[in-house]
Chains A and B, each alone.
Chain A
Amino acid sequence: MAKESEVSAPTAPQQPVIRLRDAELRFGSRVLWHDLDLDVAPGEFVAVLGPNGTGKTSLLKVLLGQNTLSAGTAEINGSTVHSGNPAIGYIPQQRGIDPHTPMRGRDLVGMGIDGHKWGMGLFSRGRRKKVDELLAAVGAADYAHAPAGTVSGGELQRLRVAQSLANDPSVLLCDEPLLSLDMHHQKVVAALLHEQRVKRDTAVVFVTHEINPILPYVDRVLYIVGGHFLVGTPAEVMTTESLSRLYGSPVEVVRVGGRLVVVGGEEECVDHHHLHDEDLAPEGAVSR
């Protein structure tokens, strides 16, 4: 599959969906990142990469209005970020759901439409139709009536995609949405997200440890390491030279069967063993 756009920065004079200027985030005396400038154009797919604890999820929380920048500005569609912004769709890190949780797949999606409103919520044909459309768009109609705790991880993430699209957001913020999926379903869900963002011209900011499942679709990469960062196309950022400079130590980017493997940089942080396991999987070639 070809990339949507070969342009790394938006050239059209359209307003960016996300606009960060001199953004700095600190917790106490610890600065996670600073002087971050980033414009995300409508429909653009931006991957946010980097070791654990570098403030990738915190960046999403800034955009969600849950973390406050210590300096600089963050805007979505031209207005300062704030909590409960309907322009945002959010896919959280996956966590298990008990099979007896009183929620079906379609209820998960429906809560994305009007779960934040007060009152009981009366039956509405329009709402049901909207839920059906969302379920159909992600191919989840088959198991929409099953309890959400009884569907597979891949199926749940399809439901999550449908939920995040419920209010026709202009940007999807995804926090490691592929984390607990097997290789096949990582590709399926990534392709689904790509398909929907192209169809709806929704920008995607995708926090991940693992770029390979989304590599075919990514327009730009924001790579954060220890307060420093790089922004550019995957071809610009995901190179031995760029990442060595960013990490400040020798890092090698190896291309194995169409997949990118970063050797060296990840070793300075814990909890990344699973990543290497995935990288070694033999069926992992991404067709490009």
Chain B
Amino acid sequence: MSAGEIFANLFTFEDYGELVALLANSLIAAALLGVVGGLISVFVMARDIPFAVHGISELSFAGAALALLIGFDVVAGSIIGSIVAALIIGVGGAKASEKNAIIGVLMPFGLGLAILFLALYDGRAASKFGLLTGQIVAITPAQILTLIICAFAVLIVLAVVWRPLMFSSLDPEVARAKGVPVSALTIVFMLTLGLAVALSVQVVGVLLVLALLITPAAAATQLSASPVWVPVLSVIFAVTASVGGILVALGSPAVPISPFVTTISFLIYLVCRLVGGRRMKSLDRRRAARAAAEHSASLTAA
């Protein structure tokens, strides 16, 4: 097969306009999940717990697989799975290193359970695959409504706890000294993270959740450290990846959505990383210049 033929197999943009109209609901849901993912990922970066996202997604997978097996709602199953995981991780360890060990223990267990449930399930193979790679174009209007309600729940919780959560994520000792309920906020955040993971699983699947919950803020923090710009950029990046991924995937009947979402997300990160590398160098130079100036000032004074 020549490259041209592969491309022709991958993409057909016939009836594109009609497809977009058909999937308007999915696109709205994807945009909303982009907003949620972009904001949550800022806190994932601030707390330095990207690994937790991965751990939660594996248990979300197990929950969804169990739901599939027993004929329960798959979205609800993945939400329950991820919330259980989020609570275990949130209660389990205060420090990032303790959390990492717990997640490392939890992850293979979750995956194993999921594989067990899928092995027992004898329904359509596409339903199994959908859990791994995302299924937002295939879910029902009722499920999309669930997603939208949960997404708004996450956004409202974030709006209420934003400042103290940021304080306790970035500067836990001083936050605790100022009376911020650091431990309670950790649980609240892990719950919202669990919800966000479960929602994102619908778009990109279990394996690629990181593309919506880590990469956007990881890219944004390459460019800025501002408490306004990092969330704004992160949301823009996440929405671009989730909606853009679907729009590109519509032209490609053969390929699921998630590779496009992750590729867009990765490309955004790559560009930010290149720009951010120069920014870091310039910040280092300025620090060195300040140190030199201070040194010569102290020499003059002495």
Q: What is the interface of chain A, defined by CB distance below 8 A to chain B?
A: 64, 66, 83-85, 88, 90, 92-93, 98-104, 107-108, 111-112, 114-121, 142-143, 146-152, 155, 163-164, 173, 184
B159 contact set on A, CB distance < 8 A:
119-120
Q: How far is the CA of A90 from the CA of B180 in the complex (A)?
A: 13
B225 contact set on A, CB distance < 8 A:
100-104, 107, 146-149
Does A102 contact B46, Cβ atoms closer than 8 Å?
Answer: yes
From B288, which residue of chain A is reached at the shortest CB distance?
A: A152
* Stretch of B59-67, B106-114, B170-178 lying at the A interface: B170-178
Question: Total number of A-B contacts with CB less than 8 angstroms?
Answer: 125
* Stretch of B23-31, B191-199, B279-287 lying at the A interface: B279-287
| Count class of interface residues, chain B | 35 or more
Does B287 contact A150, Cβ atoms closer than 8 Å?
Answer: yes
* Stretch of B11-19, B126-134, B135-143, B161-169 lying at the A interface: B161-169
Check: B123 CB closer than 8 A to any chain A CB: no
A117 contact set on B, CB distance < 8 A:
163-164
| A119-B162 contact given A66-B176, A104-B225, CB 8 Å threshold | yes
Does B178 contact A147, Cβ atoms closer than 8 Å?
Answer: no
| A111-B171 contact given A101-B46, A147-B225, CB 8 Å threshold | yes
Check: B222 CB closer than 8 A to any chain A CB: yes
Does B167 contact A116, Cβ atoms closer than 8 Å?
Answer: yes
Does B226 contact A104, Cβ atoms closer than 8 Å?
Answer: yes
Does B221 contact A88, Cβ atoms closer than 8 Å?
Answer: no
Q: How far is the CA of A147 from the CA of B170 in the complex (A)?
A: 12
Does A150 contact B280, Cβ atoms closer than 8 Å?
Answer: yes
Check: B230 CB closer than 8 A to any chain A CB: yes
Q: How far is the CA of A164 from the CA of B218 in the complex (A)?
A: 29
A108 contact set on B, CB distance < 8 A:
170-171
Does B163 contact A143, Cβ atoms closer than 8 Å?
Answer: no
The binding surface of chain A is classed by DSSP as loop
Does B163 contact A118, Cβ atoms closer than 8 Å?
Answer: yes
Does B290 contact A142, Cβ atoms closer than 8 Å?
Answer: yes
Does B290 contact A115, Cβ atoms closer than 8 Å?
Answer: no
Q: Which of B46, B179, B284 has the most A CB atoms < 10 Å from its CB?
A: B179
Q: Which of B42, B162, B171, B291 has the most A CB atoms < 10 Å from its CB?
A: B171
Does A101 contact B221, Cβ atoms closer than 8 Å?
Answer: yes
Does A115 contact B178, Cβ atoms closer than 8 Å?
Answer: yes
From B293, which residue of chain A is reached at the shortest CB distance?
A: A142
Does A120 contact B290, Cβ atoms closer than 8 Å?
Answer: no
Does A92 contact B174, Cβ atoms closer than 8 Å?
Answer: yes
Q: Which of B177-191 contact A (CB under 8 A)?
A: 177-180
9 of the cross-chain contacts (CB-CB < 8 Å) are A84-B177, A90-B174, A90-B178, A93-B173, A103-B225, A147-B225, A148-B225, A150-B280, A150-B283
B180 contact set on A, CB distance < 8 A:
84, 115-116
B290 contact set on A, CB distance < 8 A:
142-143, 152, 155
B226 contact set on A, CB distance < 8 A:
102, 104, 107
From B276, which residue of chain A is reached at the shortest CB distance?
A: A100
Check: B217 CB closer than 8 A to any chain A CB: yes
A103 contact set on B, CB distance < 8 A:
46, 170-171, 225, 227
B174 contact set on A, CB distance < 8 A:
90, 92, 111-112, 163-164
Check: B2 CB closer than 8 A to any chain A CB: no
Q: How far is the CA of A161 from the CA of B283 in the complex (A)?
A: 22
